[in-house]
Amino acid sequence: MKFKGSDNYVATQDLMLAVNAAITLKRPLLVKGEPGTGKTMLAEEVAQALDLPLLQWHIKSTTKAQQGLYEYDAVSRLRDSQLKDVDGGERVKDIQNYIVKGVLWQAFTADQPVALLIDEIDKADIEFPNDLLREIDRMEFYCYETRELIRAKHRPVVFITSNNEKELPDAFLRRCFFHYIKFPDAETMKNIVAVHFPGLKQELLTSAMKTFYDVRNLPGLKKKPSTSELLDWLKLLVAEDIPIEALQSKDDKVAVPPLVGALLKNEQDVTLFEKLVFMQRNNR
């Protein structure tokens, strides 16, 4: 199994290396990077390229590790026991019927190797990663209700993404291969745009990219626009048929771009940008 990139996803050389290293080591690939740099999409694309079904687990602040293993649905069992006519009372006798399998259980017991995405692990509480140490390491866990050991038939290819909202514990980090997706340089970004807008006019792309990197490089910006925001913006520029002149100021200085709401997401940043444009104009 080797990942060599895909038609829909631009993977840099070091990202491909990282994916393959994690597969070789049989360890989860922990992917970090700014929002919108393709962390979630990476798992989808690798799964597709390696022809593995992808099981996804999207983590929220309320998610508990146990939910990824299994949950015992005691309420349904109680209800069934009161309504005796369900299967003549047979169903309720077997506790197996009330075990709700989580993503890890499904991944471990699948008949073929699968890819498993644990998306945004930093959203959960601090105990979450610690609670999954053994499962990730040994690829097994014990179901106390049915007294069975669930062990992975095939080791899944695991992707874990994080937006760095919380630090992950050292013991957890030790078990992962780590990769930070750097913000794409102009060349890589051009390739990413080409994947999404194959027929985009070169001139428009050049001006849009220049404006985009100018905005990103503004010192003091609260939220820098991401890859996905550039793509949104380009989509709008094309849809609204914005002329290139609207993006370029004659003297090659920054101008407030049209539809800037696709790139800047709070009023302080917009004000900051407008101020800069204003100052540059006055300095001419």
Ligand X SMILES: Nc1ncnc2c1ncn2[C@@H]1O[C@H](COP(=O)(O)OP(=O)(O)OP(=O)(O)O)[C@@H](O)[C@H]1O
Kindly list the residues in this chain that would bind ligand X in the complex (CB under 6 A).
9-10, 33, 35-41, 161, 163, 192, 195, 227-228, 231
Secondary structure class of 94 (helix, strand, coil): coil
Q: Which helix (H) or strand (E) holds 65?
A: helix 65-69
CB of 195 closer than 8 Å to CB of 230: no
Measured from the CB atom, the residue of 124 and 276 that comes closer to Mg ion is 124
Measured from the CB atom, the residue of 41 and 242 that comes closer to ligand X is 41
Residue corresponding to tokens 């990476």: 42
Closest by CA to 214, choosing from 241, 163, 249, is: 249
Stretch in the footprint of Mg ion (CB under 5 A) among 37-45, 183-191, 199-207, 276-284: 37-45
Measured from the CB atom, the residue of 122 and 269 that comes closer to Mg ion is 122
Q: Does 40 bind Mg ion (CB under 5 A)?
A: yes
Q: How far apart are CA 21 and CA 6, in angstroms?
A: 18
Measured from the CB atom, the residue of 33 and 102 that comes closer to ligand X is 33
Measured from the CB atom, the residue of 48 and 66 that comes closer to ligand X is 48
Shortest reach from residue 41's CB to Mg ion, in Å: 8
Q: Residue with CB nearest Mg ion?
A: 40
The option from Mg ion, ligand X, none interacting with 156 (CB < 5 to 8 A, set by class) reads none
Per the rule left: phi > 0, alpha: psi between -120 and 50, beta: everything else, 147 is left
Shortest reach from residue 38's CB to Mg ion, in Å: 8
Shortest reach from residue 229's CB to Mg ion, in Å: 14
Shortest reach from residue 195's CB to ligand X, in Å: 5
Shortest reach from residue 18's CB to Mg ion, in Å: 17
Q: How far apart are CA 95 and CA 119, in angstroms?
A: 31
Task: Render the burial of 6-23: b for 16+ CB within 10 Å, e for the rest.
Answer: beebbbbeebeebbbebb
Q: Which residues bind Mg ion (CB under 5 A)?
A: 40
